Amino acid sequence: MSYSLKRLFPNLHLRNFRADFLGGLTAAIVALPLALAFGVSSGAGAITGLYGAIFVGIFAALFGGTPAQVSGPTGPMTVVMATIFTALITKYPDTGLAMSFTVVMLGGLFQILFGVLKLGTYITLMPYTVISGFMSGIGVIIIFLQLGPFFGHPGSASVIDSLRNFPTYVSQPNLAAVVLGLVTLAIVFTWPGHLNRIVPSPLLALVVGTLLSLLFFSNADLKQIGEIPTALPQPHFPTFQWEALKTMTGYGLMLATLGAIDSLLTSLVADNVTRSSHDPDRELIGQGIGNFLAGIFWGLPGAGATMRTVVNVQAGGKTPLSGMIHGVLLLVIMLGAGKLTEPIPQAVLAGILIKVGIDIIDWGFLKRAHHLSLKATGLMYGVLFLTVFVDLITAVAVGVFFANLLTVKGLSDLQSKQVKTIVHPGDEFLTPEEQTVLEQGQGRVILFHLSGPMSFGAAKAISQQMAAISDYDVLILDVRDVPRLGVTAALAIETMVQEAHQHHREVFLVGAEGKVRDRLKRLKLLDTLTPDNLFDDRLDALKQAIVLILKQV
C-alpha cells in the first residue's frame, strides 16, 4: 500500500487477513437475519435492510475510525426510519418513499459534517439516564411493533395502534404464525452461548422456522418476506418537496444524531474488547459516507452494531477489512441466494426482533435505578415514556433539558458552599496569623473568599451573602483558588465592587491570575482598582486593611 493510502486508511492492511475473513464471515451470518428483519419492520421491505447492511457495512468500515467495528441497520435507526416512512408516504404518496431515502442521504451528510467539525468527542457527553431511558424506549417500541406479525397479522404503524389492535391479535391469532414465533423465541433464548459462536441463534431460528413453515404449515396463510431482488442495486437521485424541506432536514438531523450516538457507544465497547482506542471524528465521517451511499441505493441507515462488532472481534477480526468483508459477503448472499430468503415467515422475523427489543432494554439500570436516585429514576422513565408514546426527538430534547437542569442545580449547590463571607476570626479556614490580624479589624473588615470554578450557579450565593452584610469599611475579595470565573459570577462580583465604591468603601483584590484576571480585565473591573489594591497574598491584604482602619480611627 502506498504512503498516501496508508495515511488515508491507517488501520487497513492484510497482515490479519485470515482472522479478519473469519470475523467478517461470522458477522455476516449474524447480520443476515437481522438485516432482513429490520427491513421488513421498517415497512420498506427486507431488501432495504440488506442494502443498508451492505453499503454501511463496507464504507463505514473503510472510512471509519474504529478498526474492528461492524456497522449496519440497528433497532433504534430502524424505528426512526419506520416513523419517517409513515410520515412522508402518508403525506406524499407518490414521492414519499424517495423522499425518505433522501432523508437518509441528509443524515449521512450531517454525520460527515459532525466529523469535520470534530464533534465526535462531545456527542456521547449525554447523561446516562437519558441514554438508558431512550434505548429502553426503543426496545419497547420494537417489541410492540412486532406483536402483529408475531400473531400473524400485519404490522402496526405505531405503538398506540399496536396496543389498540392487541385484543384482535390475541382473539384472532394465526396459530401457525404463533407456533413459529414461539419456536423462534425458544431458540434465541435457550441456544447455548458457546454454540452461538459456531451457529448464531438468529440464523438458526431463521433456518428452523422457515423449514418448519415449509414442512408443516405450507397451506397456512403465513405472511412471508416475498421476492428479494437478486441484481445489483440501482442508484437514485435525491427527491425533495420544498414545503417538506424543513421536516426532511429535521428527520435527517435526528438520524444523524441517533446514528452518531449509537455508533460511538459501540466504538467504546469495541475499545474495551480490543484494548484499543478509536477516532470518534473519523468514525462519524465513515458512518456518514456509509449512510449517504445507503440512501442513494435505497438502503436503511445504519450505525455501529454492538452484537455484530463483538462477534467479529471474538472470531478474530481486528481491522476494517473484517467489516468490509461482512458487507461484501452479504452482497454475495443477496446475489446468489436471494431466492432462498423469500419463503421466510414474518412471524420468525418478529420473534428475532422481539429478542432484539428485549436485549436493547437496559434491564440492569431499570432494576437498580431507584436505589441510586429518585430524580434520575424519574428522568429515565420520563424519557422512556416520551420515546414510546410521543416521539424520539421530544424524548431526547426533554431528557437532556431536565438532566442539565438537575446538573446545574447540583453544581450550583456545590458552588454556593464555596462562597464564604468571613467577618470574625475563628474560622478554621484562616491561618492563626490571619485570624489575629482579622481580629484587629473589629468587624470592619470583610473577607469574601471564593474557591473552585464559579459559574452562573454561584452568582446567586455571591449576591445573597453580600446583601446580608451592609456595615463594613474594607472588602477583601479573595479569588486565589478560583480557576475559572463565569460571566454571570463575574458580573455579580462587579456589582459587589460597584456598591462598595458607591458607599466609599475600600476594595482589595487577592490572587486574580490567568483566566480569572483576564475575565475581570475585560469587564473593566481592574480599571476601578489601583495597583495598591491588588495583592498576591491574603495576609498582606488583611494587614493593609487594618492599617486603613486604624488611620480612620
Measured distance CA(361)–CA(294) in Å, rounded: 27
Q: What is the C-alpha separation between 495 and 378, in angstroms, rounded?
A: 39
Beta bridge partners of 361: none
- DSSP codes joined into one string, 125-193: -S-HHHHHHHHHHHHHHHHHHTHHHHTTSPPPSSHHHHHHHHHHHHHS--HHHHHHHHHHHHHHHHS-H
Give the mean pLDDT per block of 10 residues along the chain (553 residues): 61 78 85 86 88 95 90 88 91 92 96 93 78 84 88 82 90 92 93 80 88 87 79 87 90 91 84 82 95 95 87 83 92 82 86 86 85 85 88 80 83 79 74 85 85 78 74 86 86 86 88 88 85 88 86 66
Question: What length is written for the chain?
Answer: 553
CATH 3.30.750.24 domain residues, the chain: 418-552
Cα angle vertex 157, ends 156, 159, to 5°? 75
Please provide the DSSP assignment of 82-131 as one string.
HHHHHHHHHH-TTTHHHHHHHHHHHHHHHHHHHHHTT-HHHHT-S-HHHH
User: What per-residue confidence (pLDDT) applies to 208?
Assistant: 92
Report the Cα 55 to chain-centroid distance in Å: 23
> Phi-psi region for residue 411, left (φ > 0), alpha (ψ -120 to 50) or beta?
alpha
CA distances from 493 to 453, 479, 496, 507, 514 (A): 14, 10, 5, 11, 17
Q: What is the CATH number of domain 418-552?
A: 3.30.750.24
Q: Is the dihedral of CA 52, 54, 57, 62 positive or negative?
A: negative
Kindly list the distances between the CA atom of residue 309 and the CA atoms of 39, 51, 67, 319, 320, in Å, as whole numbers in the listed order.
Answer: 20, 19, 10, 11, 11
DSSP state of 279: -
**Rounded to the nearest 10 degrees, how much is the dihedral formed by the CA atoms of 368, 372, 373, 379?**
-50
Q: How many CB atoms lie within 10 A of CB 189?
A: 13
Of the candidates 271, 328, 238, which has an alpha carbon nearest to the alpha carbon of residue 56? 328
Name the nearest CA neighbour of 63 among 286, 281, 264, 321.
286
Rounded CA-CA distance 392/262 in Å is: 14
What local confidence, expressed as pLDDT, does residue 57 receive? 94
Contact 159, 143 (CB under 8 A): no
pLDDT (0 to 100) of residue 2: 54
Q: How many CB atoms lie within 10 A of CB 340?
A: 12
Q: Is 148 in contact with 162 (CB distance < 8 Å)?
A: yes
CA distance 102 to 92: 14
Between the alpha carbon of residue 355 and those of residues 74, 188, 233, 510, the distances in Å are: 13, 7, 30, 63
Q: Among positive and negative, which fits the CA dihedral 360, 366, 368, 371?
A: positive
Q: Is 454 helix (H, G, I), strand (E, B) or coil?
A: strand
